Amino acid sequence: MGNQIRFACTALAASNKTGVLKKDENGYYELVVGALNVFNSIGQYYVYDQARDLFESSSTFMRRVKRGVLRGELGHPKPLPGMSEEQFAQRVMSIYEDNVCCHHKEIYLDFDRVKDDQGNPVIAIISRVYPSGPHGEQLRRSLDNPNENVCFSIRAFTDDFMDRGLCKRILRTIVTWDQVLEPGLAAAEKFKAPALEGAHVGASDRNTADFDHLFSRGQIERATKRNSMYGIAQESAILTGAELFQAMGWDTTETEGAKKPAFLQW
């Protein structure tokens, strides 16, 4: 129509995928939740070599996955009015039960099946995701809707550094992956899932179409000490201060002036 302007999802228009995502016999969906050796939306490069140990079975993070306790929230934590930096640091290190939308059963790396927008292979971070918790049904409906994309974003502490004009980002420890409206990494979405069902030959009309926060080491120290001092329960804390300090390589004997910054990426 000459007097109409139409906007539509074209993410699958050039592929043979339908937007239908199959689940396994236990109801888990195989989803791309992140990637390595790839640029994020603001031009930072996620490095694989220094991050690969996080995905070994002996890592603190993977032990948490094996225990079956890794859950994701609906949206990343946001600083509330009046919240101090220390309080916000403690919040982002935690998973709140009343905001859970999924369970991450298994996390692994895939080196072959996922490509970036230019067709280059990337190292995909794959999760087997089950919609659960107070927001689980909302996530399930989105995953089952063939016309709706679903995106995840990592919540992690990183080291960022410049290398010949390129900003490189090294994952030091991972809190979780949360469901978000748009991913920081283009590959971390339902429409890039390796298991997304393809259209049958001859079928018609089926192919329809980063936020950073900087915490100082001192703020992290005060966040963890504050809870201990006031006897605040830490049942929701999935990452402890001790684990974070070890992951960042911080020497507890360092002086205040030598403290290193930590970037929180989600």
pTM: 0.76
The C-alpha atoms of residue 251 and residue 160 are separated, in whole angstroms, by 19
- Kindly state whether residue 28 falls inside one of the protein's structural domains: yes
Does the residue 5 lie in any domain? no
112 located within any domain: yes
Domain range for 253 is: 17-198+211-265
Q: Indicate whether 206 belongs to any domain.
A: no
The answer to whether 139 touches 61, Cβ cutoff 8 Å, is no
Half-sphere exposure of 118 (CA within 13 A, CB side): 4
Q: Is residue 260 part of a domain?
A: yes
Total number of domains in the chain: 1
203 assigned to some structural domain: no
Q: How far is CA 143 from CA 90, 139, 242, in A?
A: 30, 6, 36
Per-residue model confidence as pLDDT tens for the chain (266 residues): 455 444 443 343 444 455 578 899 999 999 999 999 988 878 889 999 988 888 987 788 888 899 999 999 999 999 899 988 888 888 888 899 999 999 999 999 999 988 877 788 899 999 999 999 999 999 999 999 988 989 999 998 888 888 888 888 888 889 999 999 887 788 888 878 876 755 433 333 333 334 567 776 777 777 666 554 333 334 455 666 667 767 667 665 444 444 444 555 55
